[in-house]
Structure 1
Amino acid sequence: MRYKSYILTLFYASATLILVFSIVRYPQIAFESSLRGLQIWWDVVFPATLPFMILSELMLGFGVVHFMGILLEPLMRPLFNVPGTGGFVLAMGFSSGYPVGPKLAARLREQQLVSRSEGERLLCFTSTSDPIFIFGAVAVGFFHDAALGISIAIANFAGAIIIGILLRYHDRKGESTPPAREHTSPLIFRALQAMHRARIKDNRPLGKLMGDAVLSSFQTLIIMGGFIIIFSVVIKFVTLGLISEILAYPAALLLALFHLSTEMSQSLIVGFFEVTQSMQYISELTTEVNMQTKIAIAAALVAWGGISVHAQVASIISSTDLRYQPYFIWKALHALASGVLCYLIWTPLQPFTSHLYQSLPAFAKHVPGGGLDYALEAIQHMSQYAIITAFVLGLFALIPLILQKVYTRP
């Protein structure tokens, strides 16, 4: 164990020294790549994510999370083995993209609304990409066909649901929050009562609550920006130097194992670190790699999120007792499940994708360009997705109650 600690120390120190030497040796390349990372953060990530983070903090203070917790308890507990408050994290995570889901899971853990085991389950399956990124950036921006985003989106979200169901067995011996007590009053009335009690318990004035929400959101986004910039530099040096050739060999062996073209090894290397740039590599592959394989690999990398997102998640949960190791393992499984699902549904969906695209005006038809226009468009679309997701979860939550009444009726 002691030698393992020394090896880790040597590895971290060596990697940092190599990166510093590379930046000093090639300052122009480092500057251009860091500037590109800053542009991605400022033009796209910052305006798209900030409103949702602020609103999420406000909804926690106003008791909306407690309202959804009571309302979605009949669905979330038997399906995912998490309390109903996890429905709020699921809706926001699916609509807003990573790392909003992990951020909210960490906040629920800080407020003792979930146990550590339940928080880790939420952490692992609510960290997904958002529809705007899948359709706007990946499908339209890199592959120039919005219909391709349908396969990626279905695989990404269906894979997350499957992982969430499997996660109900994660750390089963760990603590669980007690289920809601049986009541004779209507479900909606109990949910409203829980929301009111939570707001009274918080007891922060509106100005204080909004200030705390803005401050917390800015701190998280600044951390995200730092990771995006540094990983933009790391990826540039990795793809240019000897490290790329070293990593390409095991990647090529993995691809050969699945009878896939070794030409995609560079895409896997870049995608391991960061998603957006890997999509460009995949879209530029030669015609030797068919579109079905390209989209399946793209779906897997989108589900994985990249080490850049993993580092952001590790930073977000560092103030809690949630562990990063389960997140790493289950995100790898999510990537595998999404890639396989996308490959399997590709052929059956082909007759319908072009028709479906004609009826999807909400999806972006251009590459996100950043700035105020993108922020307003992102807020509009992601708000719709969050409301739709919460509404669907609410409908499913009513099914167990209806069945219970039917079968217990004398």
Structure 2
Amino acid sequence: MNHTFHTLMRTAVIGGASLFMLLFFLFPGQIFEASMKGIAIWWEVLFPSLFPFLVIAELMLGFGIVHFFGTLLDPIMRPLFRVPGIGGFVMAMGFASGYPVGSKLAAQLREQHLITRLEGERLIAFTTTSDPIFLIGAVSVGFFHLPSAAIILAIAHYGGAILIGLIFRFYGYGREQKNAEPAKPLPSKRKNIVMQAFQNMHRARLENQKPIGLLLQDSIQSAIKLIMVIGGLVVFFSVFMECLSIINVLGALYFITHQLFDLFSIPLDLAPAFMNGWFEVTLGARSAGTAGAEVPLMLKCAAASFVLSWGGLSVHAQVASLINRTDFSYKPFLWARLIHGFISAAIVVAFWPWLSRWLEGQTVFSQLSPNMPFSQTLPYGFIVSGLMFAGMLIILGTSAWLRSRLRFK
């Protein structure tokens, strides 16, 4: 049965590739334009917002800082999310730098045998999120022309991700009980958890014999390799969607989506947001922000929240390529993204009366102009990302330290 299924899949892929090659020859202008759109998204949005964080993440792994946070955050991460303390660093880094950094770090930790398979799958489920730079600069300013909408989208998106982490703590519980690796015990009363964290960081740094110059070089090479893979997938899906449009498959999908939206009394102008967002998050968020003026802002924000949390098949392909070299399963990530999308949209709708107050007289993002180019929002986005990363680690670290002290009393 499996052999027959794989044979049919292989035949379908070969047939589809042949059809697309034919379209390349018949419609070269449209295909080229779609490729340029994909390259523009990668170069103007993804490269500047992702590359610095990828290099920083690699350096932190090499310097042993991850082991420091792994020890420090263990008392809070295990009870909440059933992942080791090192997952707190992955969570902060994933939230601050966006997809697919959380998945990349989880895959690296698995390769270093610092987490189990189930712990890695839980981590990927809730640490694969959008980054504040994209959420503020591209979505809120560029697509919605409403900088203060970033507050609403951030609460729904990151709040939904934390809820996903709490839900997925129960994932694989039965299997983990049968053959789980023993959890690392909390430090004894005689040993301060902060001192133990510094000792573990120092020990990890000693084990890594690379000089700083070589470590920086390897970090940059690894970041460039991943950013090129991400760019290639973005361009591929841009071309893929153009091919579907040429053969009118997208038209058929739009018709089906219109029928479903009409059945549930959802404005039809939001159909492009869900259809485009199903494939590529940037196109979906743009469609949500530029939907017709008659569509309520609440529904636009809910649609954008769903798209940001789902991530699009382009992000799914990026994550699949990263976990391919590990024993992680893709299914938990798929379900997590789908559930996250519905939870984020529900948060916007349920708390809109309170969240919408941010839109009235909001001064937090008063420095940002509604028509400001994305490149000019980058410094502000980097500041927010850095504050989010530091703030999350401080909150988690303080909570873990307090819990460890209370446990000993």
Q: Deviations over 1:70-125 (max 9, x none)?
A: 11111110000000000000001001111111111111111111111001111111
Query: How many residues were matched structurally?
Result: 403
* CA contact 1:68–1:84 (8 Å) conserved in 2: yes
For 1:364 and 1:7, the matched residues in 2 are separated by 52
Match of 1:56 in 2: 57
Does 1:269 find its partner at 2:266? no
Residue 218 (structure 2) aligned to one of 197, 206, 212: 212
AA aligned to 1:393 is L
Q: Report the Cα offset of residue 353 of structure 1.
A: 3.5
For 2:357 and 2:384, the matched residues in 1 are separated by 26
* CA contact 1:272–1:301 (8 Å) conserved in 2: yes
Distance 1:282-1:369 versus aligned 2 partners, 3 A rule? closer
Residue 266 (structure 2) aligned to one of 260, 266, 272: 260
Residue 400 (structure 2) aligned to one of 387, 390, 397: 397
* CA contact 2:145–2:370 (8 Å) conserved in 1: no
More displaced stretch, 177-186 vs 154-163: 177-186
Identity of aligned residues (%): 36
* CA contact 1:82–1:122 (8 Å) conserved in 2: yes
Match of 1:18 in 2: 19
For 2:156 and 2:147, the matched residues in 1 are separated by 15
Q: Alignment RMSD, CA only?
A: 2.1
Does 1:180 find its partner at 2:185? yes
Alignment of 1:212-361 (within 5 A): 212-355=218-361, 357-360=362-365
**Residue 144 of structure 1 aligns to a residue in which SS?**
coil
AA aligned to 2:125 is C
Does 1:386 find its partner at 2:389? yes
* CA contact 1:239–1:270 (8 Å) conserved in 2: no
Q: Deviations over 1:264-316 (max 9, x none)?
A: 22221111001111223223322442211111011000111110111111111
Q: Report the Cα offset of residue 257 of structure 1.
A: 4.9
Q: Report the Cα offset of residue 66 of structure 1.
A: 0.5
Match of 1:137 in 2: 138
* CA contact 1:362–1:381 (8 Å) conserved in 2: no
For 2:280 and 2:402, the matched residues in 1 are separated by 40
For 2:372 and 2:130, the matched residues in 1 are separated by 16
Distance 1:374-1:137 versus aligned 2 partners, 3 A rule? closer
Return the TM-score normalized by structure 1. Answer: 0.92
**Residue 259 of structure 1 aligns to a residue in which SS?**
coil
For 1:126 and 1:302, the matched residues in 2 are separated by 13
More displaced stretch, 317-326 vs 286-295: 286-295
AA aligned to 2:143 is F
**Residue 145 of structure 2 aligns to a residue in which SS?**
coil
For 2:126 and 2:83, the matched residues in 1 are separated by 12
For 2:59 and 2:366, the matched residues in 1 are separated by 30
Residue 198 (structure 2) aligned to one of 192, 202, 205: 192
Q: Deviations over 1:19-67 (max 9, x none)?
A: 2222221111111111121122122212221111111111111110000
More displaced stretch, 315-324 vs 252-261: 252-261
Match of 1:43 in 2: 44
* CA contact 1:231–1:274 (8 Å) conserved in 2: yes
For 2:92 and 2:301, the matched residues in 1 are separated by 25
For 1:272 and 1:239, the matched residues in 2 are separated by 14
* CA contact 1:44–1:374 (8 Å) conserved in 2: no
For 1:284 and 1:296, the matched residues in 2 are separated by 13
Does 1:121 find its partner at 2:122? yes
Q: Report the Cα offset of residue 126 of structure 1.
A: 0.2
**Residue 204 of structure 1 aligns to a residue in which SS?**
coil
For 1:83 and 1:60, the matched residues in 2 are separated by 16
Distance 1:374-1:134 versus aligned 2 partners, 3 A rule? closer
Which segments of 5 or more consecutive residues in structure 1 lack a partner in the other structure? Answer: none
More displaced stretch, 396-405 vs 295-304: 396-405
AA aligned to 1:150 is I
**Residue 333 of structure 1 aligns to a residue in which SS?**
helix
**Residue 223 of structure 1 aligns to a residue in which SS?**
helix
Does 1:104 find its partner at 2:105? yes
* CA contact 2:68–2:197 (8 Å) conserved in 1: yes
Match of 2:150 in 1: 149
Q: Deviations over 1:220-263 (max 9, x none)?
A: 11111100111111223334541012212432344345431233
**Residue 185 of structure 1 aligns to a residue in which SS?**
coil
* CA contact 1:136–1:364 (8 Å) conserved in 2: no
Distance 1:257-1:170 versus aligned 2 partners, 3 A rule? farther
Match of 2:207 in 1: 201
More displaced stretch, 247-256 vs 335-344: 247-256
Distance 1:116-1:6 versus aligned 2 partners, 3 A rule? same
Distance 1:268-1:300 versus aligned 2 partners, 3 A rule? same
For 1:201 and 1:181, the matched residues in 2 are separated by 23
